[in-house]
Amino acid sequence: MAYDSDNIFAKILRGEIPSEKLYEDENTYVFMDIMPRANGHCLVIPKAPARNMLDATPDQLAACLATVQKMGHAVMKAFGADGVTVQQFNEAAGGQEVFHLHYHVLPRHEGKALRAPGQMADFDVLKSQADQIRAAL
Ligand code: 5GP
């Protein structure tokens, strides 16, 4: 399947729609998920186009995973988490909804389930959680 440069994350990378940015480097960009399934739920994406893991280059995957690890440490510290869940979906049948490669980074607390998907965040709360993560980086 071809990469569609009109996907939402491509628009975020171009600055055409806003995002709550947490971190960026030469190859990756990190921002808050607007429908967080846990406090501090963030998304790591490559700056260069890739639809998902299946068409990404090994360098893109390596860059993303290095940033995922960095964000894992940051969200653990920011929220006093006990663990981190990393999710990554490929194609609609694999659960993917936005077709630009992304990794979900979810801080986890012992015994606490993820929230149901599809619930929009309160933007003031999202921003204050982003401040906590930025401070932990
Ligand atoms: P997936 O493709 O992995 O199933 O999920 C896409 C994720 O992107 C969802 O967790 C959803 O909440 C998030 N998302 C969808 N649209 C936007 C958006 O416009 N901004 C941000 N920050 N996140 C989004």
Give the pLDDT confidence of 24-46 residue by residue, as tens digits: 999 999 999 999 999 999 999 99
- Whether the pLDDT of residue 124 is over 90: the answer is yes
Pocket of ligand 1 (CB under 6 A): 8, 19, 31-35, 89, 95-98, 102
- Domain regions of the chain by residue span: 8-136
**The predicted structure's pLDDT at residue 135:** 98
Q: What is the 28 CA–ligand 1 centroid distance (Å)?
A: 16
- With b for 16 or more beta-carbon neighbours within 10 A and e for fewer, the 104-132 pattern comes to bbbbbeeeeeeeeeeeebeeeebeebbee
Nearest atom in ligand 1 to 20's CA:
22
Q: Is 102 a catalytic residue?
A: yes
- Of 100, 102, 104, 109, the catalytic one is 102
Query: What fold is seen in the domain 8-136?
Result: HIT family, subunit A (3.30.428)
What is the average pLDDT score of the chain? 98
Assign 90 a pLDDT band (cuts: 50, 70, 90). Answer: very high
Q: How many CB atoms lie within 10 A of CB 6?
A: 8
Strand partners, 13: none
Nearest Cα residue to atom 12 of ligand 1? 35
- Whether the pLDDT of residue 1 is over 90: the answer is no
- Whether the pLDDT of residue 19 is over 90: the answer is yes
